[in-house]
Amino acid sequence: MYKSLETEVLVIGGGGAGCRAAIEAHDNGSEVLMMLKGRLGNSGCTLWVGISSAVGSWGGDEADTPETSMIDLLSYGGYLGNQDLAKILSEESEDRVHEMEEWGIDFRRNEDGSVFVDMDPEHTYARSFYFKIKGEVDGNHSNEKYDYGSQPGHAIMDVLTEQVAKRDIKIKNNTVLIDLLLNRGRVVGALGLDCENNELVVIKAKSVVLATGSYSHIFAPTTVSPFETGDGHGAAYRAGAELIDMETCQFVATDRPFKPQSVFLNTEGEDIMPKYGIDLKSKDRATKEYMCYAIWNEVMQGKGTDKEKVYIDVDGDRDPSAPLDKLIQTAPQAHTTIGGVKIDGKCQTSLPGLYAGGAIGGGVYGHARPQGYTSMITLVFGRIAGESASQGATSTESVEIDELQLQNTINHALGIKRRLKNINPRDIKKQIKVIMRNHCWVIREEKSLIEGLSKISDLTNYLENKGTDNSDDASPDGYEWARYLELNNLLLTSKLMIEGSLMRKESRGAYNRSEYPDTDNINWLKNLVYKNIDGKPIIDAIPVDLKYCAPSEFAGTIQ
Ligand SMILES: Cc1cc2nc3c(=O)[nH]c(=O)nc-3n(C[C@H](O)[C@H](O)[C@H](O)COP(=O)(O)OP(=O)(O)OC[C@H]3O[C@@H](n4cnc5c(N)ncnc54)[C@H](O)[C@@H]3O)c2cc1C
């Protein structure tokens, strides 16, 4: 009925964080198995990393330090980020970059051989750099930064997969996490689905690392890879782990590259950005959060096109007498989600035996992500998760599967397959995306959120109460079964995002509530922590520990 495997450390996910975790766990002496959706080197968002940002000896401003970098990260995220995690990230990034160099990756360089380091509006100092892609020629790269989602991520993944291949790390491609296995509150492995063989796989493990990326596929349009359906978030939540900041998603302002001279116009021909105090040329407020808000607010005011977009004059040289509809249209897209599984500085989750790193690790950013830090998060917290998982495995003599919990988990997965086999998962996924875009997009509002929540509940009930079809004909293959399982996680993460949005009555960073346009540090300098209690999400607002820095109202509280 299922295949059984056993390992010391199980790493779930094969992007940057998963690879880095597997390498570290192996180098700390553990037996490691990776399982991932898709194939190693060809799945996840790390492939699409453009810019990386960190302070290091390769260049940048001499006044810049890990501390200034940490303060930038925390202030950009509205001071909701976990300050211990931000400190670790700022201090460890340089080592991870040098390690990538040792493993054979080079920086994009200027003609004189110095590393090309750039200034982004989201950072106080110039600390953005690019890893070099194969065959790239050094030179002046100043215009290429707008080509976001470009190729340096492939260079990162090439190096990491090469390092994985050099080690005795077992890999199960095309095998998706269904749920975590628990024994008396401890994670003891995972139930997976080998899509190629349409076979359930039970993997017993002393430590499990989640590195499954984001849950942005609750939205359309989105920049993220189709693998990112919140499966790790769903499994962790169902197992009882705490999640954090699930209400927040990073959006990007446009679905196409723009330049400092670009002009965004509404359907009345008004130049949008200056109306919101944004100056793309001087980079003043030219961050994705302000730009997204500006564009979407125009659309909400009825000044968008019938596709809910605005016009962009990319080179800023349009003949003012030319009709507007000759211009390209553009609109915000959902980027990677910000919330995730709550971790501490060791990447330990609230469940013994379970670790998380990379985009799934919640709490690092707060409510907005400055450009370039996520690739560093992937490497830094991927490494720490691998190290901690290995230490956890070493200190654990053995783990046992709870047969009853395993059977229930298998029955649940089989039930989903049998109930859903006559529906088209793509149709349901599309419906989820429409609901989330209509009710929980860039700018949110209570009445609409309540309607959205009710639609998500209706869809969930519809799928849960669909009659079981036990006949074997038209039984879905493993890949189709995996699509059904994804729906479960998309519906769950959508529900959590809406419920958290209803609770947080303020605007901050990438998160906007139309009725509460201001940041409310007095009442809302708090993280929302989500927990599954008897099948219902309980959300607690927990004050942030302002250890190292704070908004001005709280500056005196730092020890
Ligand atoms: C278009 C785009 C551009 C970006 N540009 C930048 C940038 O310039 N700079 C920057 O710092 N960051 C950037 N990011 C963000 C960054 O790429 C990611 O957040 C980061 O790489 C995440 O790494 P990860 O290893 O956590 O997840 P990913 O690299 O996304 O890997 C997730 C892995 O989990 C696997 N997985 C998912 N579900 C399951 C399951 N059920 N079972 C098993 N495996 C599963 C996936 O197949 C994949 O292997 C960008 C993101 C996008 C989408």
DSSP assignment of 229-269: SSHHHHHHHHHT--EE-TT-EEEES-SS---TT-EEE-TT-
Which atom of ligand 1 is the closest one to the Cα of 19? 25
Residue 188 burial (10 A CB sphere; 0-12, 13-18, 19+): buried
pLDDT band of residue 284 (cuts 50, 70, 90) is confident
Q: How far is the CA of 532 from the centre of ligand 1 (A)?
A: 25
Question: Which domains are delineated in the chain?
Answer: 254-331 (no CATH), 403-503 (1.20.58.100)
Query: What is the Cα–Cα distance from 508 to 497, expressed in whole angstroms?
Result: 15
pLDDT digits (tens, 9 = 90+) for 412-465: 999 998 888 778 899 999 999 999 999 999 999 999 999 999 999 999 999 988
Which atom of ligand 1 is the closest one to the Cα of 225? 53
Residue pair 90/70 in contact (Cβ under 8 Å)? The answer is yes
Query: What is the Cα–Cα distance from 148 to 289, expressed in whole angstroms?
Result: 16
pLDDT of residue 422: 79
Q: Which residues line ligand 1 (CB under 6 A)?
A: 12-18, 35-38, 43-46, 48-52, 148-149, 176-177, 211-213, 223-225, 227-228, 231, 336, 358-359, 372-375, 378
DSSP assignment of 358-380: GGGEETSSSS---TTHHHHHHHH
Query: What is the Cα–Cα distance from 487 to 302, expressed in whole angstroms?
Result: 33
Residue 142 scores a pLDDT above 60: no
Tokens of 282: 């001087």
Q: What is the ipTM of this complex?
A: 0.99
**Coil, helix or strand at residue 289:** helix
Residue type, 180: L
pLDDT of residue 141: 63
pLDDT of residue 161: 97
Per residue in 351-381, is it b (16+ CB within 10 Å) or e — as a string?
A: bebbbbbbbbbbbbbbbbbbbbbbbbbbbbb
Phi, psi of 87 (to 5 degrees): -65, -45
Query: What is the Cα–Cα distance from 97 to 56, expressed in whole angstroms?
Result: 8
Give the residue from 78, 29, 408 showing the smallest Cα distance to 245. 78
Q: How far is the CA of 83 from the centre of ligand 1 (A)?
A: 23
Tell me the β-bridge partners of 186: 183
pLDDT digits (tens, 9 = 90+) for 159-168: 999 999 999 9
Residue pair 461/186 in contact (Cβ under 8 Å)? The answer is no
pLDDT of residue 140: 64
Q: How far is the CA of 360 from the centre of ligand 1 (A)?
A: 9
Which atom of ligand 1 is the closest one to the Cα of 14? 49
Residue 507 scores a pLDDT above 90: yes
Query: What is the Cα–Cα distance from 520 to 543, expressed in whole angstroms?
Result: 13
Residue 34 scores a pLDDT above 50: yes
pLDDT of residue 419: 85
Residue type, 230: G
Residue type, 436: M
pLDDT of residue 556: 60
Residue type, 461: N
Query: What is the Cα–Cα distance from 374 to 359, expressed in whole angstroms?
Result: 7
Give the residue from 170, 208, 237 showing the smallest Cα distance to 11. 208
Average pLDDT score, the chain: 93
Could you tell me which residue, 149 or 299, shows the higher pLDDT?
299
Residue 223 scores a pLDDT above 60: yes
Tokens of 301: 């005011």
pLDDT of residue 418: 87
Residue type, 515: E
pLDDT band of residue 474 (cuts 50, 70, 90) is low
Strands 263-265 and 249-252, by their bridges, are: unpaired
Which atom of ligand 1 is the closest one to the Cα of 18? 25
pLDDT digits (tens, 9 = 90+) for 42-66: 999 999 998 999 999 999 999 999 9
pLDDT band of residue 85 (cuts 50, 70, 90) is very high
Which atom of ligand 1 is the closest one to the Cα of 13? 34
pLDDT of residue 145: 45
Of all helices (H) and strands (E), which one includes residue 225? none
pLDDT digits (tens, 9 = 90+) for 526-555: 999 999 999 999 999 999 999 999 998 776
Q: How far is the CA of 213 from the centre of ligand 1 (A)?
A: 5
Could you tell me which residue, 505 or 424, shows the higher pLDDT?
505
Tokens of 431: 């419906």
pLDDT of residue 470: 66
Query: What is the Cα–Cα distance from 417 to 198, expressed in whole angstroms?
Result: 11
pLDDT band of residue 466 (cuts 50, 70, 90) is confident
Residue nearest to atom 6 of ligand 1 (CA): 49
Tokens of 145: 């930064």
Q: What is the maximal distance between C-alpha atoms in the chain?
A: 76
pLDDT of residue 550: 93
Residue pair 173/38 in contact (Cβ under 8 Å)? The answer is yes
Per cent of the chain over pLDDT 70 is 96
Query: What is the Cα–Cα distance from 435 to 444, expressed in whole angstroms?
Result: 13
Q: What share of the chain is helix, strand, coil (3-state, %, to 5)?
A: 40, 20, 40
Residue 149 scores a pLDDT above 50: no
Residue pair 46/411 in contact (Cβ under 8 Å)? The answer is no
Length of the chain (residues): 559
pLDDT band of residue 146 (cuts 50, 70, 90) is very low
Q: How far is the CA of 273 from the centre of ligand 1 (A)?
A: 30
